[in-house]
Each structure stands twice: as C-alpha cells, then as structure tokens.
Amino acid sequence: MSNRKRVLVTGGAGFLGSHLCERLLSDGCDVLCVDNFYSGTKDNVTHLLENPHFELMRHDVTFPLYVEVDEIYNLACPASPIHYQRDPVQTTKTSVHGAINVLGLAKRTKARVFQASTSEVYGDPEVHPQQEGYWGRVNPIGIRSCYDEGKRCAETLFFDYHRQHDLEIKVVRIFNTYGPRMHPNDGRVVSNFIVQALRGEDITIYGDGSQTRSFCYVDDLIDGFVRMMASSKDMTGPVNLGNPGEFTIRELAEAVLKMVGGKSKLVMKPLPQDDPKQRQPDITLAKSVLGWKPQIKLEEGLGRTIDYFRKFVTS
Ligand code: NAD
Ligand code: UDP
Ligand code: UDP
C-alpha cells in the first residue's frame, strides 16, 4: 500500500479547487477531485489527468459519497453571484446537504475536514476590518442569502460535528481571491474588468465605485489552505484568509486599465441589492497561528491574471 496521503477535494474542477489539486499533487498526495461541473469545468484539470496520482469523479455532493480518504477539502459551491443566484435552492442544498455528507464521510473515515467558508458570513459589516469574532450582518431573505446563509449553516454543522463527534475540523473564511482560471463570464469584478479592458469594451463600475474589496492572489490563498490543514488539532478556525490591501472598485478599474492599456471607458451601472460597502480581512490570527501572510502584490497578481485572460480574449 502506498503511503501517500489520500486527499479528497470537492469542487476540485473550479477556480480555487484546480489550484489546490495542483499544489497537493506537487506535495506528493493522491488527489481525488470530485465535481458536478456546475460552475467549474474539466478544462481546469485536463492537464492533471495524465498524473497517476490524480483522479476525477463526476459527483454532486448533495448525494452521499463513500470513498476512503485521509483528508477532505470541501470547496464544492458556486462562488460568484451570477452562478449561485442561477439556482439558489441548489446553492443552499450544496452548502448544507453537501456539508452533511462531507462531515458524515469524515466521521466514518476519521479524516480531517476543511471547509471553504467565506467573508460573506460577515454580510454587509458594521465592523471594519472584519475579525473572526464578529458575528456578521446578513440579510436572511435577500438574493445573496442562499449563499451567505448556506455557508453560515455549513459552519454551524462543522462546529456541531466537532463538538458532538470530535471531528477534526478546519474552517477558513476566504476573502475575494483572483487569478488564472477564474471564469471569464462569471461576473466577478477582477475577471470582468480584465476581459472588458482586453476587448476594449466599457468597464462597468456598479454604483459609484467607492465600495471596497481586498484582493488575494490565488497562490497565496492556497498556501494558507495547506498550512491550515497541517495545523494542530485544536486549531479549528474559523480563520480569515485574504489580502488586507484594500482598494475601491474604482481604483481597481483604473489599475486594470493602466496595465492593459487600450481605450475602454469607465461607466457606472446600478449597484446590485445587498452589495457590501466595504470588506477587508483582519488576518492577525492567520499570521500568528499559521505563520501566513500574502506575498503577492495586486499589481503582480493582476499581471499574471491579465496574461492568462489574454489567451482567451485574443484567440
Ligand atoms: P468555482 O465556482 O470556480 O468552484 C466551485 C466548484 O464547485 C465548481 O467546480 C463547481 O462545479 C463545483 N460544485 C458546485 N456545486 C457542486 C455540487 N453540488 N457537487 C459537486 N461540485 C459542485 O468557485 P471558486 O472561486 O473556486 O470557489 C471555491 C470555494 O471557495 C467555494 O466554496 C466558494 O464559496 C469559496 N470561496 C471562494 C472565494 C473566491 O474569491 N474565489 C471567496 C470566498 C469563498
Ligand atoms: N455519508 C456519506 N459518506 C460516508 C458516510 C456518511 O456520504 O462515508 C453521508 C450519509 O449519507 C449521511 C450523512 O453523510 O446522510 C451524515 O452522516 P452521519 O453519520 O453524520 O449521519 P447519519 O448517517 O447517522 O444520519
Ligand atoms: N463589481 C463592479 N463591476 C463589475 C462586477 C462587480 O463594480 O463588473 C463590483 C460589485 O458590485 C462589488 C465588487 O465589485 O461591489 C466585487 O464584486 P464580486 O462579484 O467580484 O465579489 P463580491 O461582491 O462577492 O465581493
């Protein structure tokens, strides 16, 4: 029998999942990638299919899954508003039923289990920057609620399985992350602005562009995932992972335009309902417990992401 760690990644064919699978393979793990291709695509992992330590399984996590593994990363869930609002009932099912199945699997196999939670659990926050002790301000019945409340309920399930069944859980709250393999059409701000600038189209700022976000480059985030999984048993989280560098959406638009060049204009569109006004992670906990902090500056990360999208837009 091989002594490689057997790691399950749900949502492994998505943007973050595909980078995580790559990282785990390079760390010497056997990786089982499970995905129903709701918002991810096989294209994100085709380059891994020839690796004998990589396996791809089409499966929906709202149904039970019986496999033998040592560690589980639960990433399955559409992450962009366009995708998670397309079938909101399915989004809640994926977060809640998916968490129950993954936790049942972890309970049976005694695997460590990691949850990709989100800064959305803080909603439209009255506390800035957000630290883990803040309980959040979330609308329970709005158009973002399927995602926000689904993720909040998943966190509850993780902590109840931990208290009730002594599971080793690892909950991280991810703040906006960007990089190669974001979907060109999923409406997230970094991919939208880059694709619009490369096509010479108008850059669409929602509202007046004064709302803020903090953008983390994908490689930094994945490094935080792996450190969290390897942390001591009592480190359950939740722990914030993100880049504290905070920018207004207008500043992001200007930065992208400057880097891509071209003659796109900045245009204003209506602000979507419940759009948070500001968001910035307090990463004191991740720094002290995981020895983690982001290394890649916005300009460098945007450069790599622009290079990736250039291939789509110009071919
Ligand atoms: P993504 O949409 O690219 O990836 C999610 C993957 O999950 C996709 O491949 C999708 O097909 C799969 N999936 C969806 N429903 C499923 C189901 N029922 N069964 C099996 N697979 C299913 O999004 P991402 O940006 O890679 O996000 C990954 C995780 O990280 C998500 O849980 C998301 O909520 C979380 N997250 C991401 C960000 C970010 O900025 N990218 C921020 C906060 C949280
Ligand atoms: N489950 C799974 N794989 C497993 C073990 C359990 O998908 O290897 C599912 C199972 O279908 C159940 C859920 O996880 O619905 C929760 O499991 P748990 O053991 O906590 O609950 P129970 O089976 O007692 O309802
Ligand atoms: N946004 C924008 N133009 C776009 C796409 C998004 O101004 O073309 C804004 C959006 O209203 C929000 C911010 O950018 O204020 C981040 O949006 P995204 O959907 O990427 O992430 P989230 O709102 O989930 O943080």
Give the closest ligand to the alpha carbon of residue 93. 1
156: left (phi over 0), alpha (psi -120 to 50) or beta: alpha
Q: Which domain holds residue 167?
A: 6-178+217-242+280-294
Classify residue 284: in a domain, yes or no: yes
pLDDT at 136 over 70: yes
CA 201–ligand 1 middle distance (angstroms): 28
Q: Which long-range contacts (CB under 8 A, 24 or more apart) does 84-89 make?
A: 84/146, 84/147, 85/143, 85/144, 85/146, 88/143, 88/146, 89/146
Instruction: Average the pLDDT over 213-234 and give the result.
Output: 97
Residue nearest to atom 17 of ligand 1 (CA): 60
CATH code of the domain covering residue 74: 3.40.50.720
pTM of the model: 0.96
Contact 203, 253 (CB under 8 A): yes
Q: Is pLDDT above 90 for 186?
A: no
CA distances from 65 to 22, 39, 94, 97 (A): 23, 20, 13, 12
Residue 23 belongs to a domain: yes
pLDDT at 1 over 70: no
Is residue 48's pLDDT more than 70? yes
212 lines ligand 3 (CB under 6 A): no
> How many separate domains does the chain show?
1
Residue 221 lies inside a defined structural domain of this protein: yes
Tell me how crowded residue 132 is: count the other CB atoms within 10 A of its CB: 18
Instruction: Quote the pLDDT of residue 315.
Output: 53
Neighbours of 175 (CB within 10 A): 24
Atom of ligand 2 nearest to the CA of 161: 20
Mutational pocket test of ligand 1: of 8, 21, 39, the residue with most ligand atoms within 8 Å of the beta carbon: 39
Active site residues: 147
